[in-house]
């Protein structure tokens, strides 16, 4: 079906504005009735307009789960702009998109090949579907302590060992903006006639500028999920799931999304997707050229600051270990700046806190050695100036304490040296009888919860895995360095939830 509408049009946003302006007596949800019943405090902060547009499924506004009007038109325009055969709007973030991608392609007991450095939404997808993970380690840069992508070779080896796998999932780009050889991975995956699912949460902008890495769909992905809110102009939670080809059952994607999303989806979020799509489809080249230029200025200036360096694959002299990755077809999203502060004698966590509290600069992510900043179409030259000045002052203050570094370095544990062993599927462990034990009595037990420290936001233990001393050491180290635990019952990590002994014996 060709769309008679052009990318300049925003059918859903336009209809929402029309309904918001219409004069009528509202006897439907939401209860605030177009802002009349809203607390004055909230109106003072957000203004009235947002509530007038906070409408429910009025006939003209279509239905997200059976779209045939303005939502169908808006999704069709999005599929054309992003290069998909079909696009679904998501109001529960890429989180529900990733879960739906797994539910749509894997049933209970099916194998899925995936990297260890997945987002926790993938683990949730495993619990919901009952799929059995076959983990492969991504390439790991021990000097920078950064995990990159899985390689075509590792995917080929996993598929050779598990030819009955039902899907391959990859993260593209990583949080650091690093993109593996997706075209080769898609090729290998398709030889087994199974789909490649791509968590492209951080790569929604790729399709709109040729200096950015190749978008997942163009490289052959069957499903990709994008957080439009992360790098483009949509509101938080607003995301999209795109599909192409015939390896995926489109109806099952729809059914999975219906299971996972609210039956009262926010039209404000959906209209923001419609507007963000039109904005980037029309002005993308110009907006992203400016964004890339800002990032380039920042990168070059930061690289001049003594004691700091910026993750940069194009700079061969930067760090020797990176050269090895250039042998693979790795690309980098240059709008993402990962600044290494380690040579200042500081961890990324400490630098991040100083930047925030003293210099008014807030990052996206801190890790042991780095702080990562997202530069997007909403950033200004003033933001870049503040970032560079903050980093200059940080470096001036700490350059002399760099001598402590060797001591700290010795304590780093490679995340991928942790020995992971799966005793039961994440779903079996999630539903098994459990008990709570003190952390020092938890070694060798089967974990019954996700334990995902932020940073790095990679689950270290997940339901069904055997708790090892190396995983406990890693978690405790992150905690000492100021990271937070998420996903687990006791975030202070004094206790852990494990599968009860009887359940672990009978495997239920």
Residues that bind ligand PLP (CB under 6 A): 93-95, 98, 119, 121, 171, 175, 199, 201, 227, 239
- Calculate ∠ Cα 295-300-305, nearest 5°: 120
Q: Using an 8 Å Cβ cutoff, are 337 and 295 in contact? A: yes
- CB-based contacts of 458, cutoff 8 Å, min separation 6: 116, 117, 118, 147, 415, 452
Q: Of 364 and 490, which has the nearer Cβ to ligand PLP?
A: 364
Q: How far is the CB of 171 from ligand PLP (least distance, A)?
A: 5
Q: How far is the CB of 156 from ligand PLP (least distance, A)?
A: 23
Q: How far is the CB of 282 from ligand PLP (least distance, A)?
A: 24
Q: Which two tokens stand for residue 267?
A: 């039209």
Q: Using an 8 Å Cβ cutoff, are 361 and 392 in contact? A: no
Q: Of 121 and 369, which has the nearer Cβ to ligand PLP?
A: 121
Q: How many CB atoms lie within 10 A of CB 315?
A: 13
Q: How far is the CB of 249 from ligand PLP (least distance, A)?
A: 22
Q: How far is the CB of 452 from ligand PLP (least distance, A)?
A: 11
Q: Of 19 and 415, which has the nearer Cβ to ligand PLP?
A: 415
Q: Of 79 and 121, which has the nearer Cβ to ligand PLP?
A: 121
**Nearest alpha carbon to residue 194 among 216, 173, 165, 215:** 165
Q: Of 171 and 498, which has the nearer Cβ to ligand PLP?
A: 171
Q: How far is the CB of 231 from ligand PLP (least distance, A)?
A: 11
Alpha carbon distance 176, 364 (integer Å): 10
Q: What are the Cα distances from residue 346, in Å, to 265, 360, 401, 453?
A: 44, 18, 8, 20
**Positive or negative CA dihedral for 358, 359, 365, 367?**
negative
Q: How far is the CB of 261 from ligand PLP (least distance, A)?
A: 12
Q: Using an 8 Å Cβ cutoff, are 454 and 482 in contact? A: no
Q: Is the peptide bond preceding residue 173 cis, with omega within 30 degrees of 0?
A: yes
Q: Which residue is nearest to ligand PLP (CB)?
A: 93
3 state SS of 465: strand
């Amino acid at each position: 079906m060709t769309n008679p509408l052009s990318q300049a049009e925003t059918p859903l946003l336009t209809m929402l504005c029309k309904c918001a302006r219409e004069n009528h007596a509202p006897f439907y949800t939401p209860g605030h009735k177009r802002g009349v019943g809203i607390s004055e405090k909230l109106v003072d902060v957000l203004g009235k307009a947002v509530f007038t547009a906070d409408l429910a499924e009025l006939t003209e506004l279509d239905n997200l789960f059976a779209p045939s009007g303005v939502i169908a038109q808006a999704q069709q325009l999005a599929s054309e702009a992003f290069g998909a055969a079909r696009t679904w709007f998501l109001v529960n973030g890429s989180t529900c998109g990733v879960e739906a991608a797994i539910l749509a392609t894997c049933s209970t007991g099916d194998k899925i090949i995936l990297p260890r450095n997945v987002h926790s939404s993938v683990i949730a997808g495993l619990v919901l579907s009952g799929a059995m993970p076959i983990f492969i380690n991504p390439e790991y840069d021990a000097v920078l302590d950064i995990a990159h992508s899985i390689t075509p070779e590792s995917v080929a080896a996993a598929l050779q060992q598990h030819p009955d796998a039902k899907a391959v999932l990859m993260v593209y780009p990583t949080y650091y903006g690093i993109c593996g050889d997706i075209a080769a991975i898609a090729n290998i995956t398709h030889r087994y006639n199974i789909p490649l699912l791509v968590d492209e949460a951080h790569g929604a902008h790729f399709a709109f500028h040729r200096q950015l890495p190749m978008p997942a769909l163009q490289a052959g992905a069957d499903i990709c999920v994008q957080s439009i809110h992360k790098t483009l102009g949509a509101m938080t939670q607003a995301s999209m799931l795109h599909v192409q080809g015939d390896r995926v059952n489109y109806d099952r994607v729809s059914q999975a999304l219906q299971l996972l999303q609210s039956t009262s989806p926010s039209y404000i979020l959906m209209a923001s997707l419609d507007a963000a799509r039109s904005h980037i489809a029309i002005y993308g080249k110009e907006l992203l050229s400016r964004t890339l230029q800002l990032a380039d200025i920042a990168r070059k200036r930061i690289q001049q600051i003594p004691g700091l360096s910026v993750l940069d694959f194009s700079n061969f002299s930067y760090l020797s270990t990176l050269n090895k990755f250039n042998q693979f077809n790795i690309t980098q999203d240059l709008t993402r700046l990962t600044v290494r502060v380690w040579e200042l004698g500081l961890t990324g966590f400490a630098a991040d806190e100083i930047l925030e509290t003293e210099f008014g600069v807030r990052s996206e992510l801190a890790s042991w050695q780095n702080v990562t900043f997202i530069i997007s179409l909403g950033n200004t030259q003033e933001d870049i100036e503040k970032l560079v000045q903050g980093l200059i002052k940080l470096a001036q203050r700490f350059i002399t304490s760099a001598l402590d570094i060797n001591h700290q370095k010795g304590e780093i544990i490679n995340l991928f040296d942790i020995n992971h062993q799966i005793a039961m599927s994440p779903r079996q462990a999630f539903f098994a009888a459990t008990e709570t034990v003190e952390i020092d009595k938890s070694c060798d037990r089967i974990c019954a919860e996700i334990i995902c420290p932020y940073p790095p936001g990679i689950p270290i233990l997940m339901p069904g895995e055997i708790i090892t001393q190396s995983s406990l050491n890693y978690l405790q180290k992150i905690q000492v360095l100021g990271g937070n635990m998420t996903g687990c019952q006791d975030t202070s990590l004094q206790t852990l939830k494990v599968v009860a002994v009887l359940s672990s014996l009978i495997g239920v």
